[in-house]
Homo-oligomer: A and B are copies of this chain.
Amino acid sequence: MTRPAVVLLSGGLDSATIAAIARRDGYTVFALSFDYGQRHDVEIQAARRVAAAAGAKRHVVLPIDLRAFGGSALTDDIPVPKGRSEDDMAAGIPVTYVPARNTIFLSLALAWAEVLGTGDIFIGVNARDYSGYPDCRPDYLAAFQAMANLATKGAVEGTLPVTIHNPLIDLTKGEIITLGTGLGVDYSLTRSCYDPDSHGRACGACDSCALRLKGFAEAGFADPAPYQA
């Protein structure tokens, strides 16, 4: 087995792309997803498909009930905003914000990485299309990496320095799709919608769908994932 890497996998197109990048770079992929009280399990089904397609050696779907704390459209019953312009999205942090989400996900990835004997963690965050999330910015990721290098036995002993790989950080959604397509990613397996129907078909109108559709338009081909009529 090549060097292991923990790859945070939401089932969206960014995470499918980083799994392909980790594999291209010679890592054995250990995929980590979370069931954090979403209103539907479309995302988790997509993560399972993407992990299998990426040749993951193991895929852990860890339940964490963030509903115990409340505070977000993705975990509570607040309506998901639809049809917002890019200016609206850029104007502030959306109600779909989950407090400390990437910090929680990276912390759990860090635990698994140490058990696997590695310090390599891949996350598919993106500063250009981040839609107002503070924990998707480069300075946040650098601070997490600095903290992580003081947090674990392997890092402190110098044997397992922690690297938070974020290869998509400066790319547009269109560039991400073009890169992934070149690596053989099948984007029909992925899902991004905040408000899919019971068949897993995307709404086409939430912030996440809007960014995704713009990305496929930039990349110059149609999104192969299913949308509601």
Interface residues of A (CB under 8 A from B): 60, 62-66, 68-71, 93, 97-104, 106-108, 110-112, 114-115, 134-135, 137, 139-140, 143-144, 146-148, 150-153, 155-156
Q: Closest Cβ of chain B: how far from A154's Cβ, in Å?
A: 8
Q: Closest Cβ of chain B: how far from A189's Cβ, in Å?
A: 23
Q: Is the CB of B62 within 8 A of A65?
A: yes
Q: Which of A60, A70, A107, A156 has the most CB of B within 10 A?
A: A107
Chain B residues near A106 (CB, 8 Å)? 107
Q: Is the CB of B134 within 8 A of A99?
A: no
User: Closest B-chain residue to A116, C-beta based?
Assistant: B69
Chain B residues near A143 (CB, 8 Å)? 143, 146-147, 150-151
Q: Is the CB of A103 within 8 A of B148?
A: yes
A153 with B104: in contact, given A64-B64, A69-B115 (CB under 8 Å)? Answer: no
Chain B residues near A103 (CB, 8 Å)? 107, 110-111, 147-148, 151
Q: Which of B108, B134, B147 contacts A153 (CB 8 A)?
A: B134
